[in-house]
Homo-oligomer: A and B are copies of this chain.
């Protein structure tokens, strides 16, 4: 029997995290508000103030992350006056100065990116998932994200109509349709540092929800059951919900009560209680 905890705090993560001890979390995975976006929530941080704004938060992240832990940052720079802004590049350099190791950059390929047509630009179909660590040695459980090929083929291929196969081919150009027979026999699919996921449409009221599959992949890859996961910009709670489903403990923080209320509601309420007077929710579950 294990006690599983999933907490949601309302507040600025920079402040809230001060109540957490050093070396506490196994994984931090988050999608912070991008520069100039989510103005109603975070005030729309201007691009040229973004690095400074972020470093104060990440200083806490660095403190509360275990030496063997990992920090995954999902972010993408915007276009301004026809040019890609450089604040993300500068952020990477600044985080290294702060003591982080820039271990890897995963690409999230957004298969269903926003449509649009412009005279000198195509649709933006990818985002960065930057991996930072405190040490060269960190925990990574690669086997957990290897997809069993047989099962995948059985469940997934069945759902795919002919159209889907043709479509998939034309987009990814994988020759997938032609080679189905080859795939069925295989045991495992080896992942790379490119993730092909669709953004989730509909449901949430959160303006910037990433799909469940994104935190799920990183939680599986970098944590075990019972480990602690933090999302300091949790929004509508995707990370915590996924963490709970996967049997991980989690802490989610966001400044906007509308989000944290929503997140708290979605967590399995085996025991859901207002943890303190400041809008902190906690959920305990016996497994």
A residues adjacent to B (C-beta < 8 A): 81-84, 86, 89-90, 92-93, 96, 101-105, 107, 109, 111, 113, 115, 117, 119-126, 136-138, 140, 142, 147-152, 155, 162-163, 166-167, 170-174, 190-194, 196-198
Contact = CB atoms under 8 A, between A and B. Distances in A.
Interface of A is mostly: mixed
Contacts of A111: 172-174
14 contacts: A82-B103, A82-B136, A83-B101, A83-B102, A89-B89, A107-B109, A123-B193, A124-B193, A125-B192, A126-B192, A126-B194, A149-B170, A150-B167, A150-B171
A120 B140 contact: yes
Contact of A196 (B96, B115, B172): B172
B124 A148 contact: no
A52 B155 CA distance: 52
Contacts of A192: 113, 122-126
B150 A163 contact: yes
List 9 tightest A-B contacts by C-beta distance, closest first: A125-B192, A115-B190, A150-B167, A82-B136, A151-B163, A148-B170, A123-B192, A89-B89, A125-B194
Nearest to A70: B120
Copies of this protein chain in the complex? 2
A191 B122 contact: yes
Given A103-B121, A104-B122, A107-B194, 15 more contacts: A83-B102, A84-B102, A84-B103, A89-B89, A107-B109, A109-B109, A109-B194, A117-B142, A120-B136, A120-B140, A122-B191, A123-B193, A150-B166, A151-B163, A151-B166
Nearest to A213: B173
Nearest to A77: B105
Contact of A120 (B102, B103, B107, B174): B103
Contacts of A82: 101, 103, 136
Contacts of A151: 162-163, 166-167
